[in-house]
Structure 1
Amino acid sequence: MVSIKNIHSPQQEEESTFDLSAYLAGRQVQVEAALDRAIPLTYPEKIYEAMRYSVLAGGKRLRPILCLATCELTGGTLEMAMPTACALEMIHTMSLIHDDLPAMDNDDYRRGKLTNHKVYGEDIAILAGDGLLAYAFEFIAGQTQGVPAERVLQVIAKLGNAVGAAGLVGGQVVDLESEGKPDISLETLNFIHTHKTGALLESCVVCGAILAGSPAEDLQRLSRYAQNIGLAFQIVDDILDITATQEALGKTAGKDLQAQKATYPSLWGLEESERQARQLVEAAKAELASFGPKAQPLQAIADFITNRNH
């Protein structure tokens, strides 16, 4: 069995003096507190309970942290970016709730807990996802402070595109249509994951920079960084589905194989998949060179993607 724990070299680890664990832990606490405040328990309690159940179920909070990190990198503040960061986690959580439904990936566990529909039923799970998606846009529009209105509008448009048929939804459709087909091409697999996973992740990075008023060339560099780490993230996900346990993943292991899904290891094998993930991460980090030492959090997050075990 191939392990992904040592995908990058010891030399890279020595070169990095940035304490990513402390950075992620600190930002995670801030995001958790903001999410808790963002969704109060009110009438009708059941739907808010279901929304809170999945949003506050834990997780790495990588997407909101990317938004916060990019906003800070490009001259903005945490306060400017936090409403968008929370909204991104709401949208991501919606996608997980819906993805776990019997009509989709039909999973019983997420982040080590029963999936939303297993606790609240399919009807409430669907509505909880819908509620989170709608509220995400309301939250950005109503809670963002100290940012010109045109930038807020640009962020809302960017997220709408990322989550709709041109992004996440479109990728999910092609993914469902591809299940059980033995001849899925690399082009189709890349389309699925650059849309289903990558579009939202790219928005996390770019929206932080939009809020800070970054120039177009910086937005392009950050977009390329995010596209590369998004694809690397998915390749590692595919590897972990084969190599990790359910306890480590927090969800059912081996689901892709059971569903006869095309994955990067099924096309390339494990070793080549690891090599491709490494290449993508190096390309992502190269896009950050012009930002200098300020980009350390994003550099370290890129390495983290290929070193994670869940």
Structure 2
Amino acid sequence: MSTVEAPGWTPAETDVLVRSMMRAPSVHNTQPWLLEVTSMQLSVRERAEPALPHHDPHGRDRAASCGAAVANLELAVRTLGRSCTVAFLPEDGQPDLLARIDVGEPAAPAIEELRCHGAIARRASHRAPFEGVAVPTAVLRRIAAAGGAPGVEARPVHEVAAVARLLHFAAETFRQDGAYQRELSLWTIRDEPAHRHGVGIPASRIPAGSVPWAGLVRRATEIPQIPELERRLAGETLLLFVTADDSRLDHVRAGYAMERAWLAAVDLGLAGAVLTQPLHLPEVRSALGEDLGLAGFPQALLRIGYTAEADPPSPRRAVAEVLHRGP
């Protein structure tokens, strides 16, 4: 049991809030968020560091990571039996403040909220191939519906030829980018017991396979030819998160919607992994929008499928690094 406590919450409740938020997915497992807790309000702020200038030069993934944390935090509040409302980017002159959750009166959570909150601890990035079992259409519809949020569409992707061509181009580009490769190496951590870290991508969780299964492209990554990549993608199930605009608000909302869909998938017995790396190349992002006839801006691809074994969770920061006790 944690000994952390915040005003208006018991130590056990505070532990549920903080640890639920901390288990959200984040770019390179940097966990770029801070949480301020008072009795009636929870505030999610973006950390000043770390930055990823070569992977995430515009901070889209950082904002989306914080949006995913908001989704977990909202579920935690509901699981604790309180009503709540979420406001993204409240206008009060604080640029690092990405969301506020106002806590209301006692209210019993819905069974779906309890189930999705239970999925938080089981959610982990699956960077290996799936089992090759097709995701039923009805299940995919439920997952896409769960990822709905104002201004965000979770769109199943069937245009595998176009996606394969663009992923191949992105993989070749990033493999040859020395600055990107140095940054990726910096955020790949040794995760043996003697080298435990709280942030970064554990080296043991990165399979030796090639894109799109490995997700992150390294110098030694074998990049298959486009026809082979298309064949592999045809056996995958992909959801693309598209926003109406491309503002900071849209990035936060996209992360929120993506996490809601991912948790619904886990609750339904599936695993997932997010691909954002290719979308940081302007030519890939614009071509994807044209090839798929999108009415908005692509923000992230979520791979989902069935696996034989559960993926272990990545390490996390200490609670003291995340929680700020409000007045």
Query: TM over 0.5: same fold?
Result: no
Structure showing the higher helix proportion among its residues: 1
TM-score under structure 1 length normalisation: 0.28
TM-score under structure 2 length normalisation: 0.27
Structure showing the higher strand proportion among its residues: 2
